[in-house]
Amino acid sequence: MSFELSPLPYADTALEPAVSAHTLSFHHGKHHKAYVDKMNAAIDGTDLAEKSLEEVVAAARGSNQGLFNNAAQTWNHAFYWHSMAADGGAPEGDLAAKIDETFGSLDAFKEEFANRGVGHFASGWVWLAEKDGKLSIEETHDGDTLADSGFNPLLTIDVWEHAYYLDHQNARPAYLKAVIDGKLNWAFAAENLARGTTWTY
């Protein structure tokens, strides 16, 4: 069995101007696809070829860095596409209540989420996550992931330069503000919170 590149859950123009179709053509069509292809080549003919992506990530962690990087990046990117939407809306119900409880308000969460993304050194990911009923903002470096971490990730933003450079050049804060202000997929976050277990590829 081999893994397929997960399709975008929206039109390639849906996230503009925060993320352009031009950026998606490279980020999804080339970067994400390369991770999938390299992972498939690495697991071909092994017992991992019959495992879920989450099982491949967990098996490779600490034992095969090359495979781990490609498997984790395959998972992270698929999760990232779902973390955005053309009209992200606003959190409601239990999710909204937990955001208010943890951060004080939605605006305070947005500010902290953006600040963590801006302050993240070099490449990586910034996450809204849940563990034991409590929300937190987490960071992973380079290709690391929360897929097998014990956290239940709700949303993520990619802060590798290829996620924003074509649209915003080196202005990571502008990219983060554009995504956080209007493109976070709060319905997806609510589904992840309600399910209580980590999203699967």
User: For strand 134-141 and strand 152-158, is the pairing parallel, antiparallel, or unpaired?
Assistant: unpaired
Can you give the pTM of this predicted structure? 0.96
Range of the domain at 158: 19-201
Tell me if 23 is assigned to some domain. yes
Distance CA 85, CA 140 (A): 22
In a domain, 179, yes or no: yes
Which residue's structure tokens are 């690391």?
Answer: 144
Q: Which pLDDT score is estimated for 200?
A: 95
Q: Any idea what the Cα angle at residue 123 is, between residues 66 and 16, rounded to 5°?
A: 115
Q: Which residues contact 104 (CB under 8 A, 6 or more apart)?
A: none
195 assigned to some structural domain: yes
Examine residue 14 and state whether it is found in any structural domain, yes or no. no
- Supply the pLDDT for residue 81: 98
Classified as helix, coil or strand, 188 is helix
Tens-digit pLDDT profile for the chain (201 aa)?
689 999 999 999 999 999 999 999 999 999 999 999 999 999 999 999 999 999 999 999 999 999 999 999 999 999 999 999 999 899 999 999 999 999 999 999 999 999 999 999 999 999 999 999 999 999 999 999 999 999 999 999 999 999 999 999 999 999 999 999 999 999 999 999 999 999 999
Q: Is residue 7 part of a domain?
A: no
How high is the pLDDT of residue 170? 93
Residue 11 falls within a domain, yes or no?
no
| Closest C-alpha among 117, 113, 93, 94 to residue 103 | 113
Residues paired with 155 in a beta bridge? 128
pLDDT for residue 155: 98
**85 domain residue, yes or no:** yes
Q: Quote the pLDDT of residue 91.
A: 97
Task: Give the whole-angstrom CA distance, residue 87 versus residue 186.
Answer: 9
pLDDT at 98: 98
Residue 107 burial (C-beta neighbours within 10 Å; 0-12, 13-18, 19+):
exposed
- Residue 71 within a domain: yes
What pLDDT is attached to residue 125?
98
Instruction: Quote the pLDDT of residue 23.
Output: 97
What total number of domains does the chain contain? Answer: 1
Determine the Cα–Cα distance for residues 42 and 97; give it in Å rounded to an integer: 43
Domain of 23, CATH number, reads 3.55.40.20
